[in-house]
Amino acid sequence: MRTRLITRLGIAGIGALVVLAGTALPANGLADSTEPVPPVGLTGLEPTGADMPTVGGNLGNQHYSGLTEITKRNLKHLAPAWRTHVSAAAPASDDTGQQTTPIVVDGVIYLDTPSGGVVAVDGASGDPVWKWENGVYGLSGTRRGVSAGDGRIFTLAGDNHVVALDAATGAEVWAVQPTGPAGEDLGRVGKVATVYADGIVYAHAADGDRGAVVALDASDGSYLWHFFGGPKRGEQFTGIDGVTFDASETWGPVLPDGTDCAEEGGATSWMHGAVDPELGMYIMTFGNARSCTSSQDGSLRPGDNLFSSTMVAVDATTGAYKWHYQSIRHDVWDMDNVHPPTLADIRVGGEERKVVFYGSKSGHHFVLDRTNGEPVLPVIDKPMITDSRQNHAATQPFPASRLLPECLVWEKLDPENIPGDPWRGVPNYNGYQPDADGNLVFNPDSYVAADEPFLTYPDGHPSGHREGCMYDPQWDLPILSTTSQNGGGDWSNHAYSHSTNLVYFPYGTNPVAHYNGASANGLRAIGQYQTGGILAYDASTGEVAWKNHLGTDMSHGQGPLATASDLLFVGQIDGELLAMDAADGEVLWNFQTGSGIASAPVTYEVDGEQYVAVFAAGSTNPYGGSVTQGDSLWSFKLGGEYTTESGSPEGPDTAPLTIRRPVGGAAAAGEAVGNTVLLARANRTDDTAAARDSVSQNGMQPTHLRVPVGTTVTFRNPGAETFPNFPNVKAHCATQFFEGEFDVELAPGETYEHTFERAGEYFFNDCTDPRPTGKIEVVLEPTDQPGALRFVPGKLQLGDSGGWLSRLNQKVTATFDLPAGYEYEGGAQLLTPLSTNPVEASAVRSTGTWLTKATKRTWLILQFDKADLDHNVPEGATSLTFEANFLHDGVQERLTSTATVTVVK
């Protein structure tokens, strides 16, 4: 059994330490000229054991642990051992939110704090060991992990600093601002996790116009080498195949004004790389080109644009180029595949192969030979639709086995088809417009007709138009396609299991419309569902083994962790930590942490006990401010006994996520605007030429209208009667989706009235240009029914009795007396004191008895799962409020009632 070496500090010790660390020391301040010392437990491509000393678990980013104490058989006994609010550790702050994945070395957990500092936490007790925050050059905001080696922790900080901290005390050893040999600017470091291997620290620069991967000497931070995704003009590269080439030639000529797109083109590295100790390589991924006009306009940078959207392997010690593989040629979609590379030694066709798995946003994976970068599994060079204005590549590489759909699904608008296929397209995009029955069919005379003179279709193209498929071309008009700059796998880590030979791929579904000038590298279509899940594919064949569409985006830090007991741990942005069967994807165990998870779990062992830890701090992508932020580091073990303030082991449910892409602007009350929506106008009073026939996203006025059930709303295409100087001159539509409640086309001056009989969100957009989108929010104000709600019995015995799985079939029962003439319609839920997210009823049935021949008493029998209720209510006297929708004389109403119960845990 190991002896842990780190001495833990009390709160006073932590405070004193921060004063010491507040002053930057010289680059050689505490450094020793000793041989490199890897952190405890560091492995190359072998499973991790008692520790997980890198953000990828091992140097190959496999996120796979050989620990087996926690199994499917005893999983029901897995419970929290402790929770630490890392912001509360001195020096305390109220910061929340972070994307970091922790590491574990010698039983101590190291991670970035929400403020951008670093904290060390005892893995057995959860007690803070030390905390570092810098007040001289500041801290960087978004952080994705630290690294360890030579008795130090390596992190990033403000003003482009790479910092080394003493692992035992947190004292600052050195801090440097990396530059090239002649003072060359290497870009902005501050986000990407550092990597340590064999005395070298690798740091990646992102967010700027140009950024390099830079290698530093771990002993003092001195520069060793760098590699840019955008090469210098005339720079020559010679690979292991002996071929020499000038990568800058793939960016076209220098522009007449002297601008070199290659040197201003982005192509930065957004995620950490992988180390292959056997081959002596560092393998990294570079992002999309985004220079010389915009990321979606490639007209000024003809060519493949190396090394954008490319995986590159270099000599880990010298940085010398070895090989590259470009996943997207001439990327004008921000579809770069930048997840951390995952390495493995597998058998393909009976032969041992050294491979790297590559691909994320595109929803497919290349399986490459990491000795030379050549595909191990078949890749098809697929002919593409091209636009003569864009300098598109005529073909793009596609793995023969695809993980996610290649094209959008244009589903019928129908209230029975909600939410529908996860990859459904929003109507009117790409010219897909509803017919009389709600079927979305291509209209060649729609807005997309303007692009046709510039498009070339491959021979034998099945439809002869753009269907919303991967790499469909665009110019000035929005073309919706899959996956997106925020979909596919994006930057979540993947995992490889030595036991199952499966690769685990978390994904998001978030189709995006591309056009020149679109902000954020594309418009995620307003009103679409932003969901996701996780899938597994066979590493040796590329075939999908299973897929579990969990319902929340999994592509922004929600990386999985696989174990040798064939469990898969993964967190969700709704705060749920899941344990899944690694063989088939079934969810076996779940735990609510109380704040969003944008981090990969880790597992480790202390004193013979296996722990699983996860950082639940929240984030924003893609759900914005609806994500519950936090600062909680949780750790679990078999038989854990930690309970929260409510008396439950779990945290309260997080706030409801805005799953559908929201419209902009605050809700406008219907009476304030005469219950009228103006189509294709972003302002109700702006009578100017620039305001007419708006194509902006907020080109419905108001974008968000809030009205009670039963309200008649008028949709107006404003003509001269509204704007006498500059009326709209085009016809415009109000197409409601995805229910198909209405679809009308109005000439200037025409109106359409619609009465909303049911509560809900009703998104609609324009057929003339699909970008203007609005939402009618129809609400029901609940009517209180005092005394109608009763719980049977009035004392609720909650809490864990026998393990998590044993509670799943236990119920809380209540009754609700129905007023005469009311019929239950749906939406039964409880409002609880600890969460803004209602607890939905698991079962509802109506029953009754005749009191007299003319009078009948009717009530609902309601059941709620104890597992859903327990962590959302405190112990003692608690008020619970029931709400549901009912029909009364054919009119929808909402009734509510509150009862006080005694909760015992």
Q: pLDDT tens for residues 698-721?
A: 999 999 999 999 999 999 999 999
């994500």: which residue's tokens? 627
For range 194-219, the mean pLDDT: 95
Confidence bin at 2 (pLDDT 50/70/90): very low
| DSSP code per residue over 794-836 | SEEE-S-SS-TGGGTT-EEEEEEEEPTTEEEEEEEEEE-TT-S
Q: Is the pLDDT of residue 590 over 60?
A: yes
Whether the Cβ atoms of residue 542 and residue 401 lie closer than 8 Å to each other = yes
Quick one: which H or E segment has residue 379?
strand 379-383
Q: Cα–Cα distance between 869 and 653 in angstroms, integer?
A: 9
Q: Cα–Cα distance between 437 and 115 in angstroms, integer?
A: 53
Checking DSSP bridges between strand 704-708 and strand 773-779, what pairing results, if any?
Answer: parallel
Q: Is the pLDDT of residue 575 over 60?
A: yes
Q: What is the pLDDT of residues 67-76, one digit of tens each?
A: 999 999 999 9
Confidence bin at 17 (pLDDT 50/70/90): very low
Q: Is the pLDDT of residue 433 over 80?
A: yes
Task: Determine the pLDDT at residue 851.
Answer: 61
Task: Determine the pLDDT at residue 205.
Answer: 95
For range 171-177, the mean pLDDT: 97
CB atoms within 10 A of CB 852: 6
Task: Determine the pLDDT at residue 809.
Answer: 61
For range 103-107, the mean pLDDT: 98
Q: Is the pLDDT of residue 793 over 70?
A: yes
Structure tokens at 498: 């030595």
Whether the Cβ atoms of residue 808 and residue 863 lie closer than 8 Å to each other = no
Task: Determine the pLDDT at residue 15.
Answer: 31
Whether the Cβ atoms of residue 895 and residue 828 lie closer than 8 Å to each other = no
Task: Determine the pLDDT at residue 16.
Answer: 30
Whole-Å CA distances, 148 to 24, 59, 89, 455, 759: 20, 12, 21, 52, 54
Whole-Å CA distances, 650 to 70, 109, 689, 733: 19, 21, 57, 48
Q: Cα–Cα distance between 503 and 506 in angstroms, integer?
A: 10
CB atoms within 10 A of CB 320: 14
Confidence bin at 442 (pLDDT 50/70/90): very high
Quick one: which H or E segment has residue 14?
helix 11-21
Q: Is the pLDDT of residue 804 over 70?
A: no
Q: Cα–Cα distance between 480 and 426 in angstroms, integer?
A: 8
For range 866-874, the mean pLDDT: 94
For range 861-876, the mean pLDDT: 95
Q: Is the pLDDT of residue 874 over 60?
A: yes
For range 504-520, the mean pLDDT: 92
Q: Cα–Cα distance between 112 and 118 in angstroms, integer?
A: 4
Q: Is the pLDDT of residue 4 over 50?
A: no
Q: Is the pLDDT of residue 24 over 80?
A: no
Q: Letter for the amino acid at 243?
A: V
Q: Is the pLDDT of residue 278 over 50?
A: yes
Q: Is the pLDDT of residue 7 over 90?
A: no
Q: Is the pLDDT of residue 677 over 50?
A: yes
**Higher per-residue pLDDT: 387 or 293:** 387
Task: Determine the pLDDT at residue 3.
Answer: 37
Mean confidence (pLDDT) of the chain: 93
Whether the Cβ atoms of residue 40 and residue 6 lie closer than 8 Å to each other = no
CB atoms within 10 A of CB 238: 12
Closest CA relative to residue 192, chosen from 160, 219, 166, 218: 160
Instruction: State CA 641 to chain mean position distance.
Output: 31
Task: Determine the pLDDT at residue 450.
Answer: 98
Whether the Cβ atoms of residue 179 and residue 235 lie closer than 8 Å to each other = no
Q: Is the pLDDT of residue 755 over 60?
A: yes
Q: What is the pLDDT of residues 456-510, one digit of tens each?
A: 999 999 999 999 999 999 999 999 999 888 889 999 999 999 999 999 999 999 9
Q: Cα–Cα distance between 572 and 585 in angstroms, integer?
A: 15
For range 117-135, the mean pLDDT: 97
For range 90-110, the mean pLDDT: 96
Q: Is the pLDDT of residue 33 over 70?
A: no
Closest CA relative to residue 375, chosen from 338, 330, 325: 325
Give 3-state DSSP helix, strand, coil % of the chain, rounded to 5: 5, 40, 55
Task: Determine the pLDDT at residue 853.
Answer: 64
| DSSP code per residue over 416-475 | TSSS--TTBPPTTGGGEEE-TTS-EEE-TTSGGGGGGGGEEPPTT-SSSS--SBTT---S
Task: Determine the pLDDT at residue 854.
Answer: 62
Task: Determine the pLDDT at residue 223.
Answer: 98
Strands (E) located in 143-280: 147-149, 152-157, 161-166, 172-176, 195-197, 200-204, 212-217, 223-228, 236-238, 244-246, 274-276
Percent of the chain at pLDDT above 70?
A: 95
Q: What is the pLDDT of residues 612-622, one digit of tens each?
A: 999 999 998 89
Q: Cα–Cα distance between 436 and 433 in angstroms, integer?
A: 10
pTM over 0.75: yes
Q: Cα–Cα distance between 570 and 578 in angstroms, integer?
A: 5
Task: Determine the pLDDT at residue 517.
Answer: 82
